[in-house]
Amino acid sequence: MRVRVDGEEFVAEPGETVAAVLRGSGRDAWRTTRIEGRPRGLFCGIGVCFDCLVVVNGVRDVRACLRLVADGDDIRSQGWEEVPS
Amino acid sequence: MGGIESADVVVIGAGIIGAACAEALSAAGVRVLVLDRAAPAGATTASGEGNVLLSDKQPGPELELAKASRRRWPQLLDEVRELIGPDLAEVEWDPKGGLVVATGADEMGPLAALTAAQRAAGVEVEDLDAGQAREMEPHLTDQLAAVAHYPDDAQVQPVLATAALLAAVRARGGEVHGGVRADGLVTGRSGEVVGVRTGSDAIPCGAVVNACGPWAGHFSETIGAPIDVLPRRGVVLVTAPMPPFVRRKVYAADYVDAVASAEADLQSSAVVESTRSGTVLIGSSRQRVAFDDDLDVEVLRGLARGAIRLFPGLAAVPVMRAYGGFRPYTPDRLPVIGADARVPGLWHATGHEGAGVGLAAATGLLLADLYTGREPVVDPGPFRVDRPEVALEAGS
Amino acid sequence: MRRVVVVGAGPAGRAAAAATAAHGVEVVLVDSAPKLGGQYDRQDTRESGDRFALPSGVEYLPDSVVWAVEPAPGGHRVHVRTGPADSPERAGRALETRALVLATGAYDRSLPFPGWDLPGVYTAGAAQALAKSQGIAVGDRVIVAGTGPFLLPVATVLCSVGARVVAILEANDPVTGWMKRPGGAVAGWGKFGELARYSVLLGHHHVPMVRRSAVIAANGTDRLEAVIASRLDHDWNPVAHTERRFEVDAVAIGFGFTPQLELAVAARCDIEGGFVAVNAAQATSVPGVFAAGEITGIGGAELATHEGTIAGTAAAKLLGARVRVPFRAMRHVRSGRRFAAALQSAYPVRPGWKGWLRDDTLVCRCEEVPYGELRRAVGGLDIGGVRSLKLATRAGLGLCQGRVCGRNVAELAGLADAADGFSRRPVAAPVRLGELAEDTPVESER
Ligand SMILES: Cc1cc2nc3c(=O)[nH]c(=O)nc-3n(C[C@H](O)[C@H](O)[C@H](O)COP(=O)(O)OP(=O)(O)OC[C@H]3O[C@@H](n4cnc5c(N)ncnc54)[C@H](O)[C@@H]3O)c2cc1C
Ligand SMILES: Cc1cc2nc3c(=O)[nH]c(=O)nc-3n(C[C@H](O)[C@H](O)[C@H](O)COP(=O)(O)OP(=O)(O)OC[C@H]3O[C@@H](n4cnc5c(N)ncnc54)[C@H](O)[C@@H]3O)c2cc1C
Ligand code: FES
């Protein structure tokens, strides 16, 4: 499977989580916090903490630790830029 | 309860209404003590979205109280800040303005009639065309029939505001006690209030303010001076924090009808706004279901639909929480503020339904005006306790 | 025939579904994960096939999250969304049932310390889940820290995926702790055997276990570079001059478990001592609602399985099946509970952790609330309950809805008794507004 991480193409295996793909791309943080702008990645690994949020195919707030990748997924780190209208 | 000595006035209920009354009384030099059976600001006030609105009110006594309250809030917050310092007085006051949106042609007429009447009553309202509206709210639907802008609509965080008012009461030497339930009154020879019963103890005082919110009807009954205040359930959805999306308070034009409705069945119409923490609040349903607070997915569904109708982009946003509360409701939908002639020394300040946060500032002031014999901030007549719509016969 | 709905496909939920089906009663087994397993039996999602088999008669719904439970005539309505996690395009179902079994399990509790928000700090559960389901080691050099026997399997699985576990730091002193409760220890001998095996494995990998120590700070600018460990006294206060710096790229933290209570709370089940209260038939205080596994108490996978068997049998009985009383499972549950109680008393969380915090240490990760701010609000404002605490400080109001910080914040604010208040989450998992707006046909009992 082929997926894109912040525009760059990577190969992924079926059954891999988005978090695994992100780590495989050399990242251990992909979300910026709202107040302090701090980096966050995985913390609980099982869908409880919501630290690992990422944008998948244009949809925000996807838990990278839970979501399995699908072929062609467009994965982007999540920040606080205003949504285009 | 060993520590509680006595007070001039005991305020029962530490919601935003009790806190505002206590603050205004203490500012007038009255020694107050505030009781709550649970935690201060933990009941209806914790459910309030914190809108301080003129836009949803038809001309009449409630609008007059709302106008006075809108004027009073910023002054009140300045005074409180002076007293307790800027950190504790940070209550997220935001005069951000509101938009009322008619999406269907059938809503245009009623909206035009409402705005005309409000203008005549001194409310500032601006008619917007679709382009202007979307400039103010870029994510608003393009199905716009008519839009009215109310620059004076504002917002405050109700729990922080209540906590700040209570901190001011303390700073003036008043007392606040959580976890103490008022069980009844102690009365003197001619039936006048001389104290409040709390379990096996009594707190001596000269007057009592019933500010028990949706439980005010129940409390008034236990003390033999019943007033007709009932709970009306409301539910709010909270989204995940998101980048700026909704700037003002935006609601559907049919909201005003739902507020004014006396129906017991579910009334639902969209009210959408963002908070300082980036979440979007979606209200608000109205349903008279006693104190039943089970989740009802159909209610949530109605709220979601209404919000998406106003802001289609919200469809992709996650809801992370839903909460409900019980608005203190009176049959004629006006609050009850004033002395109860049936029991000398007994006062009520309650029945603000879905507007208690907004109306709190003027309610406190009005109560203190009446208590101290000052010129009242608004005509107290419409809020009298002995009006037939609310004063019930004892034992009825 | 009517049907039982089981939520959670960990050891407890699988056993419940199997027991119900064994009595010829239809059962729907719902789990948010893509594969059967739950926490302890988590499977590798990259492998095809399934390690676990379900008897026929069980309708299994993977990738299906229960986001709400509401009362319905005679029972409950269970609202499910099925599809990729957090996707706005999941399919909705609303299943009505007169017999609901909740087996939603638990997740690790973490305690805050300076720097715990740095990437590279993980929960023990994360380290285990990443290893088991993805074959990933959270780091090359890892410290495992916290309290409880579950740290051992976490360290073991880390070794198996190639991490070097520098040390296990156990904050309590378990050997003496155990000895105080011989009854519980005997009851849990099976578990001891398992733990002994882990100890041997860890010996092979030269993983030292240091008692009465903890990670009390993490250093780094944008990611973890090193941790500071310290000896602790009995109450977990750091002992002066015992600090040690470890250069590691990951730390896995686990201080016991927090049960996943929101569905039980939504169904209005009584909660006692932080867990769902159940009787000998695993029935909760609410007619037609049963609970099994870690939501009724923390006792390991084996106890969860036996509880599940009982719950599934009781649910079948409620729907009219003739059942055999599961005496064996009931006996195991009795001894398992003794083991669980012993476990609790041997590995408590002691109050000294509050001394690890600095004013700028985040107590709520989602809303980034520093400890100093929480203290100021609690000291200066009238906060006497969880609801006003959350609204005044924002702690617990973020996306995790207090799952991570709730108990800690309640303790820091002196409201420990009220910690359950954080489990009131009528929306038990996030749903998109568009999903919520959709019509979902209600499937009443057949
Ligand atoms: C979903 C929802 C949204 C809302 N949105 C808004 C809004 O945007 N703007 C707005 O202005 N208003 C709003 N409201 C309405 C507003 O929240 C209420 O009008 C207001 O909070 C009422 O305040 P209160 O002090 O009268 O009641 P409460 O906050 O309920 O306070 C009453 C207190 O009395 C205590 N009490 C009761 N009986 C006793 C006793 N016997 N002894 C001691 N203590 C007792 C209770 O514990 C409680 O703390 C909303 C309400 C709801 C439910
Ligand atoms: C780090 C860690 C290490 C552990 N190591 C061990 C060990 O070595 N030995 C041992 O005996 N125990 C261990 N445990 C404890 C383990 O969690 C339990 O023993 C066992 O898994 C509990 O079984 P359960 O069925 O109660 O819950 P779980 O196994 O936790 O299963 C609960 C299931 O419910 C599902 N669920 C929850 N909420 C919902 C919802 N709203 N909608 C749909 N599905 C939902 C979850 O997806 C999950 O699959 C460990 C736990 C952790 C976190
Ligand atoms: S890491 Fe906690 S939710 Fe994904």
pLDDT band at C441, cuts 50/70/90? Answer: confident
pLDDT band at C179, cuts 50/70/90? Answer: very low
Q: Which atom of ligand 3 is nearest to the CA of A45?
A: 1
Question: Any CB–CB contact under 8 A between A11 and chain B?
Answer: no
Q: Residue C43: nearest ligand to its CA?
A: 2
Domain match, C132 and C92 both: no
CA-nearest residue for atom 44, ligand 2, is C31
C-beta of C259 in contact with ligand 2 (< 6 A): no
Predicted confidence at residue C286, as pLDDT, reads 97
pLDDT for C320-362, tens place per residue? 999 999 999 999 999 889 888 888 888 999 999 999 999 999 9
Q: Are B54 and B359 in contact (CB under 8 A)?
A: no
pLDDT for C42-99, tens place per residue? 999 999 988 999 999 999 999 999 999 999 989 999 999 999 999 999 999 999 999 9
Residue C208 reports pLDDT greater than 80? yes
Domain match, C150 and C229 both: yes
User: Domain range holding C386?
Assistant: 357-423
- Provide the shortest C-alpha distance from residue B268 to chain A (in Å): 27
Residue C176 reports pLDDT greater than 90? no
Q: Which residue of B has its CA nearest to A59?
A: B316
**How far is Cα C2 from Cα C24, in angstroms, rounded to an integer?**
11
Q: Which chains touch A (3 or more CB pairs under 8 A)?
A: B, C
B243 with A61: Cβ contact below 8 A: no
Distance from the alpha carbon of residue C150 to the mean position of ligand 2, in angstroms: 12
Residue B14 reports pLDDT greater than 50? yes
Which candidate from A34, A59, A85 shows the least CB-CB separation from B278? A34
pLDDT for C268-315, tens place per residue? 999 998 999 999 999 999 999 999 999 999 988 999 999 999 999 999
Question: Any CB–CB contact under 8 A between A61 and chain B?
Answer: yes
Map out the domains of chain B with their CATH numbers: 7-82+158-229+333-383 (3.50.50.60), 98-151+231-329 (3.30.9.10)
Of A75, A79, A60, the residue nearest A21 (C-alpha): A75
C-beta of B51 in contact with ligand 1 (< 6 A): yes
Percent of chain B with pLDDT over 90: 79
DSSP C67: E
Domain match, C135 and C250 both: yes
Within-domain flag for C331: no
Predicted confidence at residue B211, as pLDDT, reads 98
Name which of B367-371, C22-26, C30-34, C177-181 the model is least confident about: C177-181
Predicted confidence at residue B1, as pLDDT, reads 40
Within-domain flag for C439: no
Name which of A36-45, B65-74, B280-289, C369-378 the model is least confident about: B280-289
Predicted confidence at residue B257, as pLDDT, reads 67
Residue B370 reports pLDDT greater than 90? yes
pLDDT band at C194, cuts 50/70/90? Answer: confident
Question: Any CB–CB contact under 8 A between C59 and chain A?
Answer: no
Give contacts of B277 with chain C, Cβ < 8 Å: 367, 394, 397
**How far is Cα C194 from Cα B267, in angstroms, rounded to an integer?**
59
Predicted confidence at residue C358, as pLDDT, reads 97
C-beta of B215 in contact with ligand 1 (< 6 A): yes
pLDDT for B321-341, tens place per residue? 998 889 999 999 999 999 999
The token pair that represents C241 in the structure block:
């001059």
Residue C400 reports pLDDT greater than 70? yes
Distance from the alpha carbon of residue B239 to the mean position of ligand 3, in angstroms: 18
Sheet containing strand C64-72, edge to edge, reads: C64-72, C75-82, C91-97, C442-443
Q: Residue B13: nearest ligand to its CA?
A: 1
Q: Residue B178: nearest ligand to its CA?
A: 1
Buried b (16+ CB within 10 A) or exposed e, B338-349: bbbebbebbbbb
Give contacts of A53 with chain C, Cβ < 8 Å: 399
Q: For B77-92, what is the mean pLDDT?
A: 94
The token pair that represents B369 in the structure block:
């005006």
Residue B150 reports pLDDT greater than 80? yes
Number of structural domains found in chain C: 3
pLDDT for C4-13, tens place per residue? 999 999 999 9
- Provide the shortest C-alpha distance from residue B244 to chain A (in Å): 6
Domain match, C190 and C223 both: yes
Examine the fold and report which residue of C325, C342, C365 is the final residue of a domain before the chain moves on.
C325
- Provide the shortest C-alpha distance from residue C440 to chain B (in Å): 10
How many residue pairs bridge chain A and chain C with CB atoms within 8 Å of each other?
A: 115
Biggest CA pair distance of chain C: 68
CA-nearest residue for atom 12, ligand 2, is C300
C-beta of C26 in contact with ligand 2 (< 6 A): no
Question: Any CB–CB contact under 8 A between A1 and chain C?
Answer: no
Residue B19 reports pLDDT greater than 90? yes
3-state helix/strand/coil string of B66-127: HHHHHHHHHHHHHHHHHHHCCCCCCCCCECCCEEEEECCHHHHHHHHHHHHHHHHCCCCCEE
Predicted confidence at residue C197, as pLDDT, reads 77
Q: Which residues line ligand 3 (CB under 6 A)?
A: A 42-45, 47-52, 63, 65
Mean pLDDT score across all residues of chain A: 95
pLDDT band at B2, cuts 50/70/90? Answer: very low
Question: Any CB–CB contact under 8 A between A47 and chain B?
Answer: no
Of B73, B58, B51, the residue nearest B121 (C-alpha): B58
Predicted confidence at residue C419, as pLDDT, reads 67
Tell me, what CATH number does C217's domain have?
A: 3.50.50.60
Domain match, C262 and C251 both: no
Within-domain flag for C436: no
Model ipTM value: 0.96
- How many Cα atoms within 13 Å fall on the side-chain side of residue C412? 33
pLDDT for C135-156, tens place per residue? 999 999 999 999 998 899 999 9
Percent of chain C with pLDDT over 70: 93
Question: Any CB–CB contact under 8 A between A31 and chain C?
Answer: no
Give contacts of C71 with chain B, Cβ < 8 Å: 294
The token pair that represents C391 in the structure block:
């609204």
A80 with B243: Cβ contact below 8 A: yes
Distance from the alpha carbon of residue B326 to the mean position of ligand 1, in angstroms: 7
- CATH class assigned to A2-82: alpha beta
Q: Which chains touch B (3 or more CB pairs under 8 A)?
A: A, C
Question: Any CB–CB contact under 8 A between C399 and chain A?
Answer: yes
Residue C186 reports pLDDT greater than 70? no
Residue B189 reports pLDDT greater than 80? yes
Q: Which residue of C has its CA nearest to A37?
A: C368
B163 with C382: Cβ contact below 8 A: yes
pLDDT for B157-187, tens place per residue? 999 999 999 999 999 999 999 989 999 999 9
CA-nearest residue for atom 30, ligand 1, is B44
Within-domain flag for C75: yes
Q: For B35-60, what is the mean pLDDT?
A: 91
- Provide the shortest C-alpha distance from residue A42 to chain C (in Å): 7
Name which of B349-358, C27-36, C415-424 the model is least confident about: C415-424
**How far is Cα C405 from Cα C424, in angstroms, rounded to an integer?**
14
Domain boundaries of chain A, sorted by first residue: 2-82
Give contacts of B325 with chain C, Cβ < 8 Å: none
Mean pLDDT score across all residues of chain B: 92
Which is it for the CA torsion C411, C414, C418, C424, positive or negative? negative
Give contacts of A85 with chain B, Cβ < 8 Å: 134, 138-139, 313
Q: Which residues contact A84 (CB under 8 A, 6 or more apart)?
A: none
The token pair that represents C245 in the structure block:
């710096």
Domain match, C235 and C117 both: yes
Residue B106 reports pLDDT greater than 80? yes
Q: For B1-8, what is the mean pLDDT?
A: 69
Name which of B2-6, B32-36, B90-94 the model is least confident about: B2-6
What are the Cα distances from residue B5, in Å, to A83, B8, B19, B196, C226? 57, 11, 20, 12, 56
Residue C446 reports pLDDT greater than 60? no
Q: Are A15 and A68 in contact (CB under 8 A)?
A: yes
Q: Residue B209: nearest ligand to its CA?
A: 1
Predicted confidence at residue C1, as pLDDT, reads 47
Q: For B82-104, what is the mean pLDDT?
A: 93
Of B152, B146, B119, B114, the residue nearest B133 (C-alpha): B146
Give contacts of B321 with chain C, Cβ < 8 Å: 397, 401, 425-427
Q: Within the 12-71 window of chain B, which residues sit less than 8 Å (CB to CB) from chain A? A: none
Question: Any CB–CB contact under 8 A between B246 and chain C?
Answer: no
Q: Which atom of ligand 3 is nearest to the CA of A42?
A: 1
Give contacts of B241 with chain A, Cβ < 8 Å: 34
Which candidate from A36, A43, A59 shows the least CB-CB separation from C122? A43
Q: Which atom of ligand 2 is nearest to the CA of C150?
A: 5
Domain match, C52 and C96 both: yes
